[in-house]
Structure 1
């Protein structure tokens, strides 16, 4: 059996209608998963994922459990059809929770509860309109520090995601957006995009949120992962449950080291990657970083069925 690493997407990959194909092909399992989620958090995520409205689905406390439920469903369908275990799992931000469900470290209903609470706390951490996130593509590494130093005189700005050698994401005060656009461009950035997020995540903006979330995390059972799992905070493998708990909390205020995770997996000899969930952000980032790797993104039941035939 070939060695595949499973990758789990974070916020931004959601879209209205993302569950339809799985509902058509696997109605019973899909209903079961979304029913568990609804019982746990009191929200009809299936209806919201299918019908929207998009603005409501994009609220972080809805986005997070909806994405996790779909990713966990896809993984469960796969596991029930073929005898297959990934060699390693990793997820981007919210996707870290999906990865831990796949690794057998956190059970699904606990994970749905956790990410709903995480979303609520993160949403409330910064008053609406005060903070945002901006992706900067093509800015030379040596320009990052001077850009932050210059803009910091006028407000708070921090690196939230190291997504690839080409892309970083900043968390910042909303008032700094025009300055970032202008400054980054003048320093050689190819593209600057303000993200559709409701708060500036993975930064010190989330300090109080992390303190509140720590209490919730302490009540959840976490087991040793059954497959290799990489942390967003350290870009290293983790198997100690208490360390996982600690770093899940720390992840709220620390940058996501996705570039380092890709480097680590590649250096460890892994060349085949499957993205489990809607969108193909992570598989595209990996392919751009390392052109010789094989990537798949499983966004529909038909692609899932095709991949399972090949992998079995």
Structure 2
């Protein structure tokens, strides 16, 4: 059976995430301590105990989600001998999940990944003044419908597709007024629903250019190694292993569209049968079933998931 390991993005965070892993496995506890040390912050306490409003802050949610994913992956390696080269064809991650994927596959050190995501969260938050940007999920839309609505709603402002998650779930991002117009247009054109998202900034659109510039500078000084298996990149929905290419794509990803649906379909075309979501939540497993019913998906969050998965190897 061919599988790929995939890593969740923002929105999957919840108070308590990672706590069971830390209590059950020393390698997980040490992973969280390493992230705390890298950031000079008790991020693990925030993850385990809250408060939720602090965990939801982009600068905390991004490194926290990565920490849970990498801790779970290290548990799989230490407890079950999971080896990317032997047990996976690809890794992929949704938005910040690309950093988790690259760290898990050995392209980044854990400390560098934590610091990069802290900076990424801060830079994305600062890029657009509060209230000036928004995002909305167009439910029932395909990518072509979403692109048409975004283009017609723009009227000289930024309004683009941010995430092509699955058929029936496409997210748009841009200036607040343009997103408001798009929500109205979606209703007029008979879409099932258009939902404004509770987000702190308009991610994955050209308004994020200041954050992309900040990440370009930060990534230029970080060592990137070739990952153990290719990363299927958000921006291209194609495999990449070259460190310089990875660096370039991570910068482009800040302002570009997350081509998740295409990424999953590419992996299926390459013979992948199972996507293993590693980390908090089950968002990617749910999307997998919507993208292609022939693909199977499992989620690994806690000790019971680890035990169950290792029996399948």
| Mapping of residues 253-272 of structure 1, within 5 Å | 253-272=255-274
What CA deviation, in whole Å up to 9, does each residue of 1:245-276 have, x standing for no partner?
01111110110111110110111111111100
| SS of structure 1 residue aligned to 2:311 | helix
Match of 1:275 in 2: 277
Per the normalisation by structure 2, the TM-score is: 0.95
Q: What displacement does 1:82 show?
A: 1.8
Match of 1:98 in 2: 100
1:99–1:140 Cα change, 3 Å: closer
Q: Does 1:294 align with 2:293?
A: no
| Mapping of residues 32-51 of structure 1, within 5 Å | 32-51=30-49
Match of 1:9 in 2: 8
Aligned length in residues: 309
| Cα distance in structure 1, aligned partners of 2:227 and 2:28 | 25
For the aligned residue pairs, the C-alpha RMSD in angstroms reads 1.4
| SS of structure 2 residue aligned to 1:149 | helix
| Mapping of residues 182-197 of structure 1, within 5 Å | 182-197=184-199
| Cα distance in structure 2, aligned partners of 1:70 and 1:146 | 37
Q: What displacement does 1:19 show?
A: 1.7
Match of 1:144 in 2: 146
| Cα distance in structure 1, aligned partners of 2:69 and 2:142 | 34
Match of 2:222 in 1: 220
| Cα distance in structure 1, aligned partners of 2:143 and 2:3 | 31
| Cα distance in structure 2, aligned partners of 1:276 and 1:140 | 27
| Mapping of residues 201-220 of structure 1, within 5 Å | 201-220=203-222
Asked if structure 2 preserves the Cα contact closer than 8 Å seen for 1:139 and 1:187, the reply is no
Unaligned runs of 5+ in 1: none
Q: What displacement does 1:187 show?
A: 1.1
Unaligned runs of 5+ in 2: none
Per the normalisation by structure 1, the TM-score is: 0.95
Match of 1:240 in 2: 242
Q: What displacement does 1:125 show?
A: 0.5
| Cα distance in structure 2, aligned partners of 1:262 and 1:250 | 20
Q: Does 1:124 align with 2:123?
A: no
| Cα distance in structure 2, aligned partners of 1:73 and 1:54 | 21
Q: Does 1:134 align with 2:136?
A: yes
| Cα distance in structure 1, aligned partners of 2:268 and 2:102 | 21
| Cα distance in structure 1, aligned partners of 2:79 and 2:224 | 26
Q: What displacement does 1:102 show?
A: 1.7
Give the counterpart of 2:77 among 73, 76, 79.
79
| SS of structure 1 residue aligned to 2:114 | helix
| SS of structure 2 residue aligned to 1:35 | helix
What CA deviation, in whole Å up to 9, does each residue of 1:193-244 have, x standing for no partner?
2222211111101112111221110111001111121111111110110010
Match of 1:55 in 2: 53
| SS of structure 2 residue aligned to 1:233 | coil
| Cα distance in structure 2, aligned partners of 1:114 and 1:216 | 7
What CA deviation, in whole Å up to 9, does each residue of 1:145-171 have, x standing for no partner?
432232111632111111112221111
Q: What displacement does 1:88 show?
A: 1.0
| Cα distance in structure 2, aligned partners of 1:71 and 1:103 | 12
| Cα distance in structure 2, aligned partners of 1:20 and 1:41 | 19
| Cα distance in structure 2, aligned partners of 1:220 and 1:252 | 17
Match of 1:29 in 2: 27
| SS of structure 2 residue aligned to 1:29 | helix
| Cα distance in structure 2, aligned partners of 1:149 and 1:303 | 43
| Cα distance in structure 2, aligned partners of 1:144 and 1:4 | 30
